[in-house]
Amino acid sequence: MQDATALAQAVRRREAAPVELVEETFRRIEATEPQLNAFVTVCYEDGLAAARGELPEGPFRGVPIAIKDLTDVGGVRTTYSSRPLAENVAPADAALVRRLKAAGFVVVGKTNTPEFGSTAVTESLLNGACRNPWNLGRTPGGSSGGAAAHVAAGVLPLAHGTDGGGSIRIPASCCGLFGIKPSRGRISTAPYGDGSFSLGQSGPLSWTVRDAAAFLDVAAGYEPGDAAWLPAPPRPFLDEVGAPPGRLRVAWTTEPALPYAVDEPCARAARDAAALLEELGHEVVEQTPPWQDDSVLDRFSFLWRMGPALFPVDPSALEPLNELLARRAHETTAVEYGQQVIALQRYARLVAGFWEDVDVVLTPTLAKLPVPIGWVFESEDPWEQFTRAAEFTPFTPALNLTGQPAASVPFGEADGLPVGVQLIARAGAEATLIRLAAQFEAARPWIDRRPPLRVA
C-alpha cells in the first residue's frame, strides 16, 4: 500500500506514469462505486487529458485526487448535493483547487456530501447515501463522507475535505483515517467570502500523517482579499513529521462541549490514548476546557442557517433541514444575528483561553460509533435532525468557532468499526499536531488496519 507521497516519488523516478495512476484510479472507482456511492462526478476525460499533458513539476506531480462537491473545479459540476443545483457547472477553479493543480495533482472527480454540507452524515435526496467501507450499513460520517469512504477503501490514499462543524474529523474517525482541520486562515476560501466566523476550513483526509502535512504545505497561503489569514510557518509542515514534539502538557477529557452522552467505546479510546501519551513522556492531566454551555447549539444554528439561505434557490425546493434553516435565516433580523455572533465570539475567546496553560487537548472525536444509514433522518422533524447530528458530534463544532487546528487520529476499533481520538492545539499550531500525530502513528501504526471493502 503506497501513500500519495510514495506515488509522487514513483513518478519522479519514472517508475510510474501519471496516466497509469489515473487509469488505475478509475478502475478502482468502478470497482467500489456500486457499494460506496462516494463520487458525485467522475472526471474520466478531463483526468486522462491532464495526466497526458504537461503537468506542473510540483511535489505531487501526477498523483490523482478527488475534490469534495462543495468546492469548485472549473468546468465540472458543483451540485452541493442539492436538487436545484444538480446541473450547476463551476465557471473556474476555487483558489485551493488551483493550488492543488499547481502542485501537480490530477483531479479525477467530485465526492459525495449532504445538501450544502449541512449535517453530520453524507446522505442527500439528489446524490443518495454514501456508505462506510467498514460496514455498508453505517455512515462514513460528516459532510466529507465521500472523501473518507474512497480513501479508506483504497481508491486513493489522499482526498480533499471541508470542515465547518467537524466534517474532516468526523469521517476520519468513522473510516480509520487521519484528518486535520487547519487553523482559520491557513487555507483560503477564495473566491468566496469568509463570513462572520469562517467556520469552514479545507483540509486533507489521508492514510498517513506525512501526506496530510504535505497537502497543507501546497494548499496553504494568502489570497488577495482574505479577511482572515495566517503567515507561512517557519518551515514546511512536512518537516514536522517525525520531529520530536518535546514534552507537551496535554489535558484530556471525555466531557463534550454539547450536553450529550458519550458511548463507552469512544470514551475508552480517549482514556487509552491519554495513557499512551503518558507512556511517551508527556505531562498528562484530566481537565475539561470551559466549553460546556447549554445555549451554544442554538446560537451556533444562527450561523449554520446562513449557508442554505445564501444560495439563489427557493427554500421550498430544499430538503426539510435546509428549508428550515433557510426560512429561519430569512426571519432573523440583523440585530438578532449580530447579538448571536457577539455571544459566540465571547464563548470562543473563553474556550480558546484554556490553551494558555496547555499545549494540546485530547478528546474522543465522536460520541458514538458510526451511526446507521438514515439514523439522523429517522425523525421527520428537521430540528430533531439537526440535534441528532449534534448528538453524534458534540466534540467537534466548538473548534470551528475558536478557529483552532484539530485532528482526528485513528486509535482503535469497536464492533468492527474504527474509533478515533481528537487532538486540539492553539491557533496556528498545526506543527504541534503534526508532530504529535506522527508520534501516535509510530507508536500505534494504523495503515494496515483496512476495512473489509477495499481494492488496495
Report the catalytic residues: 68, 143, 167
With contact defined as beta carbons under 8 Å apart, do 431 and 233 qualify? yes
Query: 442 to each of 205, 242, 357, 447, how far by Cα in Å?
Result: 18, 9, 27, 11
Amino acid at 372: P
CA dihedral angle for residue 174, residue 67, residue 241, residue 451, rounded to 10 degrees: 30
Q: SS3 for the chain, per residue? A: CCCHHHHHHHHHCCCCCHHHHHHHHHHHHHHHHHHHCCEEEECHHHHHHHHHCCCCCCCCCCCEEEEECCCCCCCCECCCCCHHHCCCECCCCCHHHHHHHHCCCEEEEEECCCHHHCCCCCEECCCEECCECCECCECCCCCCHHHHHHHHCCCCCEEEEEECCCCCHHHHHHHCCEEEECCCCCECCCCCCCCCCCCCEEEEEECCHHHHHHHHHHHCECCCCCCCCCCCCCCCHHHHCCCCCCCCEEEECCCCCCCCCCCHHHHHHHHHHHHHHHHCCCEEEECCCCCCCCCHHHHHHHHHCHHHHCCCCCHHHCCHHHHHHHHHHHHCCHHHHHHHHHHHHHHHHHHHHHHHCCCEEEEECCCCCCCECCCCCCCCCHHHHHHHHHHHCCCCHHHHHHCCCEEEEEEEEECCEEEEEEEEECCCCHHHHHHHHHHHHHHCCCCCCCCCCCCC
- The whole-angstrom separation of Cα 140 and Cα 149 is 6
Residue in the structure block whose three cell numbers are 474517525: 173
Compute the C-alpha angle 238/240/242, nearest 5°: 105
With contact defined as beta carbons under 8 Å apart, do 348 and 340 qualify? no
Nearest C-alpha neighbor of 174 from the set 404, 24, 375: 375
- The whole-angstrom separation of Cα 173 and Cα 78 is 26
**How big is the chain, counted in residues?**
456
